[in-house]
Amino acid sequence: MKKGTIFRRLFLTYGITIIIGFGILALLLMQLFNQYFIESKKQVLIEQGQKISQEIVLGLYTGQIDQQRLTDNLKTLDNLLNARIWLVDDSGYIIGVSGTSEDHFLGQQIEEAQLTQLYKGKNYFQIGNFGGKLEEKSLTAGYPIFVGLVFKGGLFIHAPLPEVQKTFRDIYAITVGAILLAGLLAYILLYFQIRRISKPLGEIGAAAREIAGGEFHKRLSIKTGDEIEELANSFNDMAESLERIEENRRNLVANISHDIRSPITSISGFAAGILDGTIPEEKQTLYLNKVLSESKRLGKITNDLLELSNMQQGQMSAEKQVFELNEIIRRAIVSFEQQIMAKNLQIELHVFDEAIYVYSDSVLLERILVNLLDNAVKFTPANGHILIQTSDQAGKILVELFNDGVAIEQEEIKRIWDRFHKGDASRGEHRSGFGLGLAIVREIIGLLGERIWAESGSDFVKVTFTLDKAKNLEAIK
């Protein structure tokens, strides 16, 4: 165990708690047993005192037995009860003892307070040395003696406390042994339980260090069925996200090296050719237009990156208002007129109403449509077909965009919204984008509080998103 580890801290903390808890329990049980045994012994002494006074001592005062016979009976009871028995008269003088070694107590007077309680007809009980007369601490029970209504004295029975405790010493030993065994078992269970907690936490820590070192492929396999397993699963999700981010980062480097280096190379090459006369004057306008086109491409890449960054940092907000949807869709289609004609694409627009009013941000919505159409036009083969249609479902307007093209695998559909994702690493005519368009669409949809999803069949791709339907249309019209 390393110093400062969670295993050490938990083991020491709970271990000390167990020791203290079982120690307190042992003391409480010992105290309870002690009280119970003393009370039990006290009850026995009181019962025996009552019996002795009724059967024997009263016989003395009624003349049925003599002093010698009384003494013999007291000695017999002394051996049976393992207790000293004293008989006192109404003045508190000791007139009978059960042990021969106690004959010197005969004629001595007990304390007035000890006799007064018996005179009142009450039993007497004390733990001590009976006013200094006893050599060892004893449990003393006293019982009054009355003949008729006349107080004749009392009977005191002294049970040495060590003898009382000796009777229950085995029970004490068994109790303490059971507590120690329970404490040991608790410590063993505690060890394995803390081990069960600390070991997976250590694995998570080690995996975190590997990921911090760039090993994003690291995964955990922890099956505890509790919050630690949930933590491990969340860790795996985090590692998977980091791995995707790292993959995107690498893709970004690759994309930048191609999508930015290529236009820069073209721009610098055309500019150098014009300056050094390699490009004849009659073709300079053509190549200057190419320089302008490549410059615009660089500008678009930069603007997309800045826009996406601003969205993800919460620096852009939606300004919602009521406006007509069909006009926005038509305007977006018109902006792709040249690309549509160049590929001889067929565009269809199916709307469920001539005027559809929605509550959204018109500028952001147009950006969504432009990015989705850009993808559709780019990936639809020549002479293909694109369909845009709207529908009203439970207060939500659904906008669906279909286009012909190669099917997208289900696993791939989940990733098309990731920034810098382009579907595959090929660099054909359909890979000229920078992988930011759909990422921007997803961020805008989130900003508007709407939903968007994609589906793919064997020869088509469909993207659907929702919009809030405007209320109080009569007031608008």
109 plus 34 within the same structural domain: yes
User: 3 pLDDT band (50/70/90 cuts)?
Assistant: very low
Write the DSSP symbol of residue 110: -
Burial class (CB in 10 A: 0-12, 13-18, 19+), 338: exposed
Residue 39 has pLDDT above 60, yes or no: yes
Residue 422 has pLDDT above 60, yes or no: no
Average pLDDT, the chain: 78
| Integer angstrom CA distances of residue 366 from 69, 106, 334, 415, 451 | 124, 120, 12, 23, 16
377 plus 421 within the same structural domain: yes
Number of helices followed by number of strands (H, E) in the chain? 15, 12
Q: What is the CATH number of the domain that holds 99?
A: 3.30.450.20
Full domain range(s) for residue 364 = 321-476
Structural domains in the chain (count): 3
Q: Which residue has the higher pLDDT, 64 or 234?
A: 234
Picking from 399, 385, 390, 393, the residue whose alpha carbon sits closest to that of residue 448 is 399
Residue 62 has pLDDT above 70, yes or no: no
Euclidean distance between CA atoms 222 and 228, whole angstroms: 8
114 plus 147 within the same structural domain: yes
Q: Which residue has the higher pLDDT, 96 or 72?
A: 96
Among the candidates 289, 315, 341, a domain finishes at 315
Which residues make beta-bridge pairs with 90?
none
The two tokens of residue 451 are: 């939903």
Q: What is the CATH number of the domain that holds 449?
A: 3.30.565.10
- pLDDT for the residue numbered 472: 62
Buried-state track 235-268, b at ≥16 Cβ within 10 A, e below 16: bbeebeeebeeeebeebbeebeeebeeebeebbe
130 plus 79 within the same structural domain: yes
In a domain, 355, yes or no: yes
Q: What is the CATH number of the domain that holds 243?
A: 1.10.287.130
In a domain, 161, yes or no: yes
Among the candidates 263, 285, 315, a domain finishes at 315
Mean pLDDT of 257-266: 72
In a domain, 408, yes or no: yes
pTM, two decimals, is 0.46
- 80-135 pLDDT, tens digit each: 677 788 888 888 888 878 876 777 788 888 888 788 888 888 888 888 888 778 87
378 plus 275 within the same structural domain: no
In a domain, 425, yes or no: yes
Picking from 209, 210, 232, the residue whose alpha carbon sits closest to that of residue 221 is 232
In a domain, 338, yes or no: yes
352 plus 295 within the same structural domain: no
Write the DSSP symbol of residue 322: E
User: 303 pLDDT band (50/70/90 cuts)?
Assistant: confident
Among the candidates 315, 337, 363, a domain finishes at 315
Long-range contacts of 196-199 (CB under 8 A, 24+ apart): 196/224, 197/6, 197/10, 197/228, 198/5, 198/6, 198/7, 198/10
In a domain, 255, yes or no: yes
SS3 180: helix
153 plus 243 within the same structural domain: no
369 plus 295 within the same structural domain: no
262 plus 330 within the same structural domain: no
311 plus 325 within the same structural domain: no
- Distance, CA of 148 to chain centre: 77
Euclidean distance between CA atoms 477 and 458, whole angstroms: 43
Euclidean distance between CA atoms 390 and 395, whole angstroms: 13
In a domain, 177, yes or no: no
329 plus 235 within the same structural domain: no
353 plus 383 within the same structural domain: yes
In a domain, 121, yes or no: yes
Write the DSSP symbol of residue 423: S
Q: Is the dihedral of CA 430, 435, 438, 440 positive or negative?
A: negative
Residue 35 has pLDDT above 90, yes or no: no
